[in-house]
Amino acid sequence: MKQLQESIPVAHTRIYALGAARGNQVVTNDDIAGPIDSSDEWIKQRTGVATRTRAAEDQSLMDLAVEASKEAIAKSGVDPNEIGAVILATISFPYQTPSGASLLSELVGAHDAAAYDISAACAGYCYGIAQADALVRSGLCKYVLVVGAEKLSDFISPTDRTISFLLGDGAGAAIVGASDHPGISKTIWGADGSSWDKVGMTGSILDFRDGKTPWPTLTQEGQTVFRWAVWEMSKVAKEALDAAGIEASDLSALVMHQANLRIIDEFAKQMKLPDSVVIAKDIVETGNTSAASVPLAMHRILEEKKVASGGYALQIGFGAGLTFAAQVVELP
Amino acid sequence: MAHTQQEVLAGLAELVNDETGIAAEAVQMEKSFTDDLDIDSISMMTIVVNAEDKFSVKIPDEEVKNLITVGDAVSYITANQD
């Protein structure tokens, strides 16, 4: 009997390049404060958000995903025909099927690539990086395009005081490929389904169809999520550092899901990071963009030259599910 | 060792001061965290987690919303210490 052939593994992977796209409208706190009986000062003090970028009607989630992907592909120098898989992390693509990734693969020239969406909310991009690392190291794909893209403004309520006012639209993309040294550490990831109802939608689309609920929008139990995001997720981040075999002092940057500046600040305190570690705070201008927030935040600190290529960044996504994923990556 | 009500109040006042800068003397039993001390939900949760450490007590999320006044928190902590 003939022995089966398998894909030929490679030793290491890294992120080659990132791309970013933000919603084409800057929405200020004053623009949204009225319906939630709030103010610019209150929102800044409570959340750190000064503006959020939202996509106008003429800018779709796919427009954002394509723009970010094209930048990442161009900067990486990779031939899009050699991309073996396109992974789109999103909770706001407006079709149940087909996947957004399938259309995205066509629009960026990744013809015949495997393509699928993942639904892991704000952890989605880091889930995608974990999968890309595994797909490339196993030899199944030469390159993988990972994209976090959201148009959350389609799923917000102007009167919601729990989360809607924080949310923005955007996309971040990464090309992952083989490396001659480790550039993505072992991912620490998981989900706590016992807290399934702590962040999510106000109703199902079936309830909406049957007239039992208004258009479903995003909502959360803020206090519970805050406790989990800071004190449980900082444990996960420490595990990721241990798994990578490095210390906090070896990091150039901390790139967290941009949920709320208060979470970022308290989380950083719990991590006891040295002052040398740059803490990404894209939320101040972009808002919370769920699956897009980690790559957008990393892209910004690279563009602003706050960190240099080659340094280590701890990235961690966490959100509805409750899902989480953390890994250390070499900055592209 | 269990803390007395007075010790819990003093310790809680310290935690409130650390988190918000509110003078410890202002943290009195009848004061409401929200209406009198103007403590928001995120600061409240930080105080709760730090109180758990300080007094070896578990304060579940669903209990936090019942802690309206400083006195509510002092009573809960005093009654539920390990």
Domain map (residue ranges) of chain A: 12-179, 188-330
Tens of pLDDT along B36-79? 999 988 899 999 999 999 999 999 988 998 999 999 999 999 99
In a domain, B33, yes or no: yes
Q: How many other C-beta atoms are found inside a 10 Å radius of the C-beta of residue A160? A: 18
pLDDT of residue A297: 98
Phi/psi of residue B55, each to 5°?
-110, 10
pLDDT of residue A3: 96
Mutation pick from B15, B20, B39, B42 vs chain A, by most beta carbons of A within 10 Å, is: B42
> A39 CA to chain B: closest CA distance, Å?
15
Of A223, A230, A266, the CB nearest to B41: A223
Judge: A222–B41 Cβ closer than 8 Å, yes or no: yes
Q: What is the 3-state secondary structure (H, E, C) of A291-331?
A: HHHHHHHHHHHHHCCCCCCCCEEEEEEEEHHHEEEEEEEEC
Chain A neighbors of B64, CB-CB under 8 A: 223
Binning pLDDT at 50, 70 and 90, where does residue B1 land?
low
Q: How far apart are the first and last CA of chain B?
A: 8
Asked if A266 has any chain B CB less than 8 Å from its own CB, the reply is yes
Chain A neighbors of B41, CB-CB under 8 A: 222-223, 226
Portion of chain A with pLDDT greater than 90, in percent: 98
> B61 CA to chain A: closest CA distance, Å?
6
Residues A87/A116, Cβ–Cβ less than 8 Å: yes
What pTM, to 2 d.p., does this model score?
0.94
- pLDDT surpassing 80 at residue B82: no
Residues B5/B39, Cβ–Cβ less than 8 Å: no
Of A46, A224, A262, the CB nearest to B61: A224
Chain A neighbors of B40, CB-CB under 8 A: 46
- Alpha carbons A113 and A82: distance in angstroms, whole number: 8
Judge: A223–B40 Cβ closer than 8 Å, yes or no: no
Edge-to-edge strand list for the sheet holding A278-279: A188-191, A323-330, A312-319, A253-256, A278-279
Token pair, residue A307, equals 């960190």
> B58 CA to chain A: closest CA distance, Å?
13
pLDDT of residue B40: 87
Selected residues 16-55 of chain B with any CB under 8 Å from a CB in chain A: 40-42, 44-46, 48-49
> B8 CA to chain A: closest CA distance, Å?
22
Instruction: Please count the residue pairs, one from chain A and one from chain B, whose beta carbons lie less than 8 angstroms apart.
Output: 26
**Number of domains chain B is built from:** 1
Give me the DSSP letters along A41-83. Answer: HHHHHHH--SEEEE--TT--HHHHHHHHHHHHHHHHT--GGGE
* DSSP letter (8 states) at residue A211: T
Asked if A227 has any chain B CB less than 8 Å from its own CB, the reply is yes
In a domain, B24, yes or no: no
- Alpha carbons A262 and A270: distance in angstroms, whole number: 12
Q: What is the CATH number assigned to the segment(s) A12-179?
A: 3.40.47.10
Q: How many other C-beta atoms are found inside a 10 Å radius of the C-beta of residue B79? A: 10
Q: What angle do CA A58, A61, A62 make, to 5 degrees?
A: 95
Binning pLDDT at 50, 70 and 90, where does residue B2 land?
confident
Judge: A223–B44 Cβ closer than 8 Å, yes or no: yes
> B36 CA to chain A: closest CA distance, Å?
17
Query: Nearest-CA neighbor of B21 among B3, B54, B46?
Result: B46
Task: Say whether A188-330 and A12-179 share the same fold.
Answer: yes
**Domain CATH number, residue B63:** 1.10.1200.10
- Alpha carbons A328 and B5: distance in angstroms, whole number: 46
Give the list of residues 6+ apart from residue A142 with CB closer than 8 angstroms, or none: A82, A83, A84, A136, A177, A178
pLDDT of residue B3: 83
Q: What are the catalytic residues of A?
A: 122, 257, 288
Tens of pLDDT along A189-231? 999 999 999 999 999 999 999 999 999 999 999 889 999 999 9
Q: Position of tokens 């202002």?
A: B26
Q: In whole angstroms, how far apart are CA A219 and each of A63, A124, A225, A299, A320?
A: 26, 18, 11, 27, 10
Of A227, A230, A266, the CB nearest to B61: A227
Asked if A161 has any chain B CB less than 8 Å from its own CB, the reply is no
**Which superfamily, per CATH, for A188-330?**
Thiolase/Chalcone synthase (3.40.47.10)
Positions of chain A with pLDDT under 50: none
Give the list of residues 6+ apart from residue A274 with CB closer than 8 angstroms, or none: A248, A249
Q: Which residue of B has its CA nearest to A198?
A: B61
- Alpha carbons A315 and A298: distance in angstroms, whole number: 9
Q: Which residue of A has its CA nearest to B47?
A: A227
